[in-house]
């Protein structure tokens, strides 16, 4: 109940935010001492060492509270099925059908509400709030209505473009008022002198509204400190540091020692997102090459490994969204329309957040990729326990887990789901301690289990492998990710908090 009262005081403190809550890019830059990197307190089924005090914190009771807290947010989002999924053994298919009806109605209602609100705003809202860097105008553009001002100039400005299937755009089904309330909560939290990271994690677990995602990610990843007054200073220092590396190292890319690294990066960048226009822009490709090259030569134990390039994309897209018109599709934005200084900010922030991510999974990319081998084995053990029919089917047909799940681990499922879903998934990964390593495993297990029936229908090796390497997720949106996360959370709750449960019987 203490949390309730502190919550409401936060609301009061943050009253001034509310006026501006619908304006994107208005996030105050943030400042401070480096927050210590999050410590692991989740145990891999493979029996990682647990610190005693960490363990004590995570006894059953706490775990339950944590679970309750996290899922209670689901009510805010209207994801009622999330809670059901976590508690009951419902067939996903059944939930799908009924949820689809509800969500369809809901989103129709939400869209009409949102349109209404946007029109109202456009009429009333023209007061200030352009921060020097944030380049967004105060005009609101309901999606697809007209080309309009702002940065997000469409590459093909010839008029209406139908949305693409590969759209990055973050799609919410929540009503605007709920979304606004959630945004207010975030802004209140950001404004606290010393932000409680567990509060932020709890708020972010069930998805972060687009408007506050860039700041939330920077804090969650450990890039920005929890102390509000030190964030701006940190940003400036880290950005300077990054461009110091560029000055110092980037010219070494053609030297014998590093030639191979740069050659590989240079081969991979142009082909990383062939269907998304923004990634065909040379200026964007150059940014990715610099980020990856600098990271690679500063981490010689792994260096650049194919797949790491994908991991920059969500950061880049999210941080770019901070500087462009709310309703312009990031994938069609022309980066050369942004001032160099803004592009530099996006580049440096993407570099540091990607570095933080990779710090947690570096053994995925060192020689022989032990992190991946370990996770593939853990996935196998987990499936053996939670989906015996599927496990035996795969065994009988000679399908090895490495053959399909190597890529799941190496690219964090980014090759398996649309980019917008990855972004949503990362909201949660960054809210979990060691999310990209430990929680990812449970997500993979839930992911495989979800296609269990389809795999069981395939009667031979080639059928199964073709299915598992080309899973039908093109249409996936937040709803599917929420279901996946609920299932993954259930698995984590069952196994990670009781690692011996898995170890002894496997």
User: Which residues of this chain interact with other proteins, rule CB under 8 A?
Assistant: 264, 267-268, 270-272, 274, 303, 305-307, 365, 367-369, 372-373, 396-398, 402-403, 406-407, 410-411, 415, 459-463, 465-466, 469
Which residue, 207 or 314, is less far from other proteins as judged by CB?
Answer: 314
Which residue, 232 or 373, is less far from other proteins as judged by CB?
Answer: 373
Determine the Cα–Cα distance for residues 459 and 343; give it in Å rounded to an integer. 51
Which residue, 9 or 280, is less far from other proteins as judged by CB?
Answer: 280
Which residue, 134 or 373, is less far from other proteins as judged by CB?
Answer: 373
SS (H, E, C) 159-208: CCCCCCCCCCCCCCCCCHHHHHHHHHHHHHHHHCCECCHHHHHHHHCCCC
**Other CB atoms within 10 Å distance of the CB of residue 463:** 15
Which residue, 69 or 281, is less far from other proteins as judged by CB?
Answer: 281
CB of 427 to other proteins, least distance (A): 24
Determine the Cα–Cα distance for residues 365 and 154; give it in Å rounded to an integer. 37
Instruction: List CB contacts of 502: < 8 A, sequence separation 6 or more.
Output: 45, 381, 382, 385, 495
**CA proximity to 149, closest of 23, 283, 327:** 327
CB of 188 to other proteins, least distance (A): 41
Query: What Cα–Cα distance (Å) separates residue 402 from each residue in 214, 378, 389, 398, 406?
Result: 34, 11, 19, 11, 5
CB of 260 to other proteins, least distance (A): 8
CB of 460 to other proteins, least distance (A): 6
Which residue, 211 or 412, is less far from other proteins as judged by CB?
Answer: 412
CB of 109 to other proteins, least distance (A): 38
CB of 117 to other proteins, least distance (A): 39
Half-sphere exposure of 3 (CA within 13 A, CB side): 12
Determine the Cα–Cα distance for residues 78 and 377; give it in Å rounded to an integer. 36
For 282-291, give one letter per residue: b (16+ CB within 10 A) or e.
eebbebbbbb
**Other CB atoms within 10 Å distance of the CB of residue 452:** 17
CB of 265 to other proteins, least distance (A): 11
**CA proximity to 38, closest of 356, 427, 491:** 356
CB of 306 to other proteins, least distance (A): 5
Which residue, 52 or 271, is less far from other proteins as judged by CB?
Answer: 271
**CA proximity to 288, closest of 319, 325, 257:** 319
Structure-block tokens of residue 302: 């792994």
Instruction: List CB contacts of 241: < 8 A, sequence separation 6 or more.
Output: none
Note whether 502 and 495 are within 8 A (CB).
yes
Which residue, 142 or 270, is less far from other proteins as judged by CB?
Answer: 270
CB of 261 to other proteins, least distance (A): 11
Which residue, 56 or 267, is less far from other proteins as judged by CB?
Answer: 267
């Amino acid at each position: 109940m203490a949390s309730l009262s502190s919550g409401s005081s936060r609301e009061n403190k943050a009253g001034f935010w509310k006026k501006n809550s619908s304006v994107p890019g208005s996030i105050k830059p943030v400042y401070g001492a480096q927050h210590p990197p999050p410590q692991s307190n989740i145990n891999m089924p493979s029996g990682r060492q647990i610190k005693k005090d960490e363990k004590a914190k995570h006894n059953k009771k706490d775990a339950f509270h944590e679970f309750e807290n996290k899922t209670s947010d689901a009510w805010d989002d209207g994801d009622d099925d999330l809670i059901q999924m976590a508690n009951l053994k419902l067939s996903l298919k059944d939930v799908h059908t009924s949820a689809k009806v509800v969500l369809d109605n809901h989103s129709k209602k939400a869209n009409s509400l949102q349109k209404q609100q946007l029109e109202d705003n456009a009429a009333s809202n023209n007061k200030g709030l352009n921060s020097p860097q944030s380049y967004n105008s105060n005009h609101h553009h309901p999606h697809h209505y007209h080309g309009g001002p702002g940065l997000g100039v469409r590459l093909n400005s010839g008029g209406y473009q139908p949305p693409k299937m590969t759209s990055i755009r973050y799609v919410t089904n929540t009503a605007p008022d709920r979304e606004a309330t959630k945004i207010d909560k975030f802004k209140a939290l950001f404004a606290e002198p010393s932000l409680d990271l567990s509060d932020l994690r709890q708020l972010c677990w069930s998805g972060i509204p687009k408007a506050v995602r860039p700041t939330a990610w920077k804090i969650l990843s450990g890039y920005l400190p929890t102390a509000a007054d030190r964030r701006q200073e940190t940003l400036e220092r880290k950005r300077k540091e990054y461009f110091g590396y560029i000055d110092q190292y980037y010219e070494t890319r053609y030297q014998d020692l590093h030639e191979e690294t740069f050659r590989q990066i240079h081969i991979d960048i142009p082909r990383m997102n062939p269907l998304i226009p923004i990634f065909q822009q040379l200026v964007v490709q150059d940014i990715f090459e610099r980020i990856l090259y600098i990271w690679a030569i500063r981490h010689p134990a792994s260096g650049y490994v194919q797949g790491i390039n994908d991991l920059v994309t969500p950061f880049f897209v999210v941080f770019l969204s901070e500087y462009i018109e709310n309703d312009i599709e990031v994938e069609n934005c022309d980066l050369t329309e942004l001032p160099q200084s803004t592009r530099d900010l996006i580049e440096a922030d993407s570099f540091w957040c990607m570095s933080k991510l990779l710090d947690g999974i570096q053994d995925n990319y060192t020689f022989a990729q032990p992190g991946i081998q370990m996770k593939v084995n853990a996935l196998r053990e987990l499936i053996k326990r939670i989906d015996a029919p599927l496990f035996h089917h795969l065994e009988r047909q000679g399908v090895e887990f490495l053959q399909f799940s190597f890529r799941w681990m190496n690219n964090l499922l980014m090759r398996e789901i649309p980019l917008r879903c990855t972004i949503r998934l990362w909201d949660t990964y960054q809210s979990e301690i060691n999310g990209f390593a430990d929680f990812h495993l449970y997500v993979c297990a839930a992911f495989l289990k979800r296609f269990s029936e389809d795999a069981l229908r395939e009667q031979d090796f080639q059928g199964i492998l073709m299915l598992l390497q080309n899973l039908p997720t093109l249409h996936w949106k937040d709803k599917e990710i929420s279901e996946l996360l609920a299932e993954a959370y259930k698995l984590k709750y069952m196994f990670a908090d009781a690692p011996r449960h898995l170890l002894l019987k496997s």
